[in-house]
């Protein structure tokens, strides 16, 4: 399964990315679409009734969080764990006709392997 939300909501997804995303909690949207790009991923979320000023988007390593601010007319809260860390500076978001589209740019993998000298 590509995207496994908590609860039973309707989601469109690509089976090619069955383990790529895991929901940290149940999204407030009725529809989420994921796809891979050369640079990372594209995520589209339905957020009708919310203006861009009423949304907060946070990138923390491999975790993406989208939530509404306190002054928003409705509550929205969703988080997604990605298979690799995101470049927050290069990630972009666009809100059009109630659909939030995020272009998520993945960071290049960094090896944590270290050499050990034999004494």
Domains of the chain, CATH where assigned: 3-105 (2.60.40.790)
Helix (H) or strand (E) holding 90: none
Burial letters 82-92, b for 16+ CB under 10 A, else e = beebbeeeebe
Total-model pTM: 0.68
Cβ pair 79, 16 in contact under 8 A = no
Q: How many CB atoms lie within 10 A of CB 70?
A: 6
Handedness of CA 27, 32, 94, 59 (dihedral sign): positive
pLDDT value, residue 58: 95
pLDDT above 60 for 21: no
CA atoms within 13 A on the CB side of 35: 9
pLDDT digits (tens, 9 = 90+) for 67-115: 999 999 999 999 988 888 899 999 999 999 999 999 999 988 777 788 8
pLDDT above 50 for 34: yes
Cβ pair 9, 26 in contact under 8 A = yes
């Amino acid at each position: 399964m590509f995207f496994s939300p908590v609860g039973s909501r309707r989601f469109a997804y690509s089976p090619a990315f069955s383990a790529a995303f895991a929901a940290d909690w149940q999204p407030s949207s009725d529809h989420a679409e994921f796809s891979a790009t050369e640079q990372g991923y594209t995520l589209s979320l339905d957020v009708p009734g919310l203006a861009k000023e009423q949304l907060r988007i946070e990138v923390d390593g491999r975790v993406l969080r989208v939530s509404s601010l306190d002054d928003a007319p409705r509550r929205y809260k969703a988080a997604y764990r990605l298979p690799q860390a995101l470049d927050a500076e290069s990630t972009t978001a666009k809100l059009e006709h109630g659909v939030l589209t995020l272009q998520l740019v993945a960071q290049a993998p960094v090896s944590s392997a270290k050499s050990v000298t034999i004494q």
